[in-house]
Amino acid sequence: MLNYIIRRLLLMIPTLFIMSFMLFAIVRFAPGLAHPGAGGTTGKLNSRQAQKEQELEIKRRLHLVDRFGHPISVPMQYWLWVRDIAEGHFGMSYQYDEPVLTLIAQRLPVTITLNLIATVIIYIIAVPGGMLAAVQRGRWFDRGFGFLTLALYSLPSIWVGSMLLGFLANPQFLDWFPAAGIHTTDTSHMTYFQYLGDYCYHIALPLVCYVYGGFAVLSKQVRAAMLDNMRQDYVRTARAKGVGNWTLTVRHIFRNSLLPLITISAGVLPGLLAGSVIVEQIFSIRGMGALAYKATFGHDLPVLQMVGLVGGIIGLLADLITDLCYAVADPRVSYE
């Protein structure tokens, strides 16, 4: 087992290397990399000298040139970039003129929290749903459920989000929910529970967008896992032994179906992370997705690069955790 874990970790190193080099290369060879960014957004004019200085400064920061303005070779650039990241210097954003690390530290918790809450809710509603469908296999409930999950799976979040925002958080129709953000603007006077309540009120609509797709996928998985177990010999044995239907379903089949569910839980997160670009954009939540979106428009490549890297690392970790969970939880799998 230890062997397997070590091997798995070693295999991650080349992946990490390839991924980082890919991100480095895409951004390194992008046109307009050393442009001073949105400094002139207001239409104010920089003097030419200042603009040149700014460009040189950015080039230095990106390690395109050294202290004296001489160009640096590409492999060396990559090495310096990696070293900077290892030291915690994630570069500077063009748009915000702040370190990328600060920006990510600000936004990652928002996104991760939302996604974790969404994941929990998905599990809470998908497990009973999938079980019921499996038990009712072939009957009208199962069919309806199959159709419903497929429909939910196909429902575009841009539509759901726009409609929720347009109809439920709009003075034009029903002004029931807040239109943007995850908090009232002034939270300083709130107690902890008010604060939490305010948070829940604000994330209600975004959560709907996060949850329905995940629910579709997961409940299908639950149903499949249950059916898989129902076909096993031990179920027949148990039935023959006279175990009651309910006991059988809950205590035997369900328990054995839990294994794949737990292991895929880590895999749910990266998918939600990608979806957060759209949901956060619709509901003006200042998370990682919104950061990536704004960076795309602002041509803020250092930010995008780092958002990609952080997202990628989270994805890799999720993969790793899935595999390890599986290895720990399932003694039937051999790892040589």
Partner 1 sequence: MNNRFGVKDLFYVFLLLALLGAVLLEVGQSAYQGRQIIALQGDIQRLNDMQMRQLEVLKHIENSLAVLPSHLRSTDVKPVRGGAVATEAGSGQSAKPIRETLPDGSRYVYYPRPPLSSHNPFSRSDYAQGDWLVLDLNEDPSTLVPYVPQGEGAYLVQGYVLETLLIQSSVTLQWEPWLAQSYRVAKNGLKIWVTLRPNVMFSDGVPVTSKDVVFSFNTLMNPKINDAPMRSSYTDFESCKAINSREVVFTLHHPYFQALANVGALQIVPEHIYKFKRAKDFNNQPPGRLIGSGPYVLQGWQRGQQLTLVRNPRYWGPAPTFNRVVYRFIESPQASMQDYLKGSLDAVSPRAAQYTRFTKDPQFVKHNIYYNYHTPSDGYLYICWNLRLPMFHDRTTRTALAMLVDRNAIINSFLHGLAVPINGPFSVFSPQNNKQVKPIAYSVAEARALLHKAGWVKNSDDILERGGKPFEFTLTIPSSATTLAQIAGYIQHQYARVGIRVNVSPMQFEVMLKRIDSRSFQSYCLAWTGSIEQDPYQIWDSASIADKGSNAGGYSNPEVDKLIAEARSNLNTTSRMHQWHQIQAIIYHDQPYLFLFQQYDMMFINHRFRNTKPYGYYGINTGDWYVPLALQKYH
Partner 2 sequence: MNSLEPSLPSETMMPRLLSQRPRSYWDNVLASAVRPWAVKISVAYLVALSLLAVLIPFIANSRPYTVVVSAHNSMQAKRLYPLFRSLTRLDLIVLVWAGVVVWCVLHQWLTRKESDLVRRRQRRWRVMILAAFAAIALTTLIGIFRHNVLDVTNYTRLVAEGKAHGAIFAPIKWGYADMEPLRRDLINKMPMPGHPLGTDGQGRDVLARLLWSARVAMSVGFVSQIIALVIGVFCGAVDGYFSGIVDLLFMRFVEAVEAIPTLILILIFVATFGRNIMAIMVILGVTGWTGYARFVRAEFLRLRSLDYVAAARAAGLPLWRVLFRYMLPNGITPVLVSASFGFAGAVTIESGLSFLGVGVRPPTASWGQMLNEAGNPATVFRWWEAIGPGLAIFLTVMAFNVIGQALRDAIDPHGEAL
Quick one: 82 or 207, whose CB is closer to partner 1?
207
Chain positions 125 to 164 lying near partner 1, rule: CB under 8 A, are 127
199 binds, among partner 1, partner 2, none (CB under 5 to 8 A by kind): partner 1
As measured in angstroms, the least distance from the Cβ of 101 to partner 2 is 17
Options 26, 250, 274, 333; binder of partner 1; rule CB under 8 A: 250
Residue 175 phi/psi, 5° resolution? -100, 60
On whether the CB atoms of residues 63 and 34 are closer than 8 A, the answer is no
Chain positions 78 to 117 lying near partner 1, rule: CB under 8 A, are 94, 96-98, 105-106, 108-110, 112-113, 116-117
Residue 53 phi/psi, 5° resolution? -60, -45
Distance CA 69, CA 57 (A): 9
As measured in angstroms, the least distance from the Cβ of 80 to partner 2 is 20
Contacts of 19 (CB under 8 A, 6+ apart): 309, 312, 316
Residues in binding contact with partner 1, number by CB under 8 A: 70
Helices within 231-300 (DSSP H only) = 233-241, 245-247, 255-282, 288-297
Helices within 136-172 (DSSP H only) = 140-154, 157-168
Task: Please report, to the nearest 10 degrees, the dihedral formed by the alpha carbons of residues 195, 196, 197, 202 taken in order.
Answer: 90
Query: What DSSP element (H or E) covers 96?
Result: none
Residue whose entry in the numeric block shows the structure tokens 């001073």: 36
Quick one: 199 or 215, whose CB is closer to partner 2?
215
Q: Which residues bind partner 2 (CB under 8 A)?
A: 11, 14-16, 18-19, 22-23, 26-27, 30-31, 147, 149-151, 153-159, 162-163, 165-167, 170, 172-173, 179, 216-217, 220-221, 223-224, 227-228, 270-271, 273-275, 277-278, 281-282, 289, 292-293, 295-297, 299-301, 304-305, 307-308, 311-313, 315-316, 319
On whether the CB atoms of residues 124 and 118 are closer than 8 A, the answer is no
188 binds, among partner 2, partner 1, none (CB under 5 to 8 A by kind): partner 1
On whether the CB atoms of residues 29 and 301 are closer than 8 A, the answer is no
Residue 92 pairs in a beta bridge with 99
Site string for partner 1, 175-214 (x = CB under 8 A): x--xxxxxxxxxxx---x---x--x---------------
**Which window, 3-11, 222-230, 258-266, 305-313, contacts partner 1 (CB under 8 A)?**
258-266
Quick one: 157 or 199, whose CB is closer to partner 2?
157
**221 scored as a contact of partner 1 (CB under 8 A):** no
Q: Which residues of 194-231 are buried (b: 16+ CB within 10 A; e: fewer)?
A: eeeebbeebbebbbbbbbbbbbbbbbbbbbebbbebbe
253 binds, among partner 2, partner 1, none (CB under 5 to 8 A by kind): none
On whether the CB atoms of residues 121 and 207 are closer than 8 A, the answer is yes
**38 scored as a contact of partner 1 (CB under 8 A):** yes
Tell how many helices (H) and how many strands (E) occur in the chain. 12, 0
Residues that bind partner 1 (CB under 8 A): 31-32, 35, 37-48, 50-51, 53-54, 94, 96-98, 105-106, 108-110, 112-113, 116-117, 119-120, 123-124, 127, 165, 169-171, 175, 178-188, 192, 196, 199, 250, 254-255, 258-259, 262, 284, 286, 296-299, 329, 331
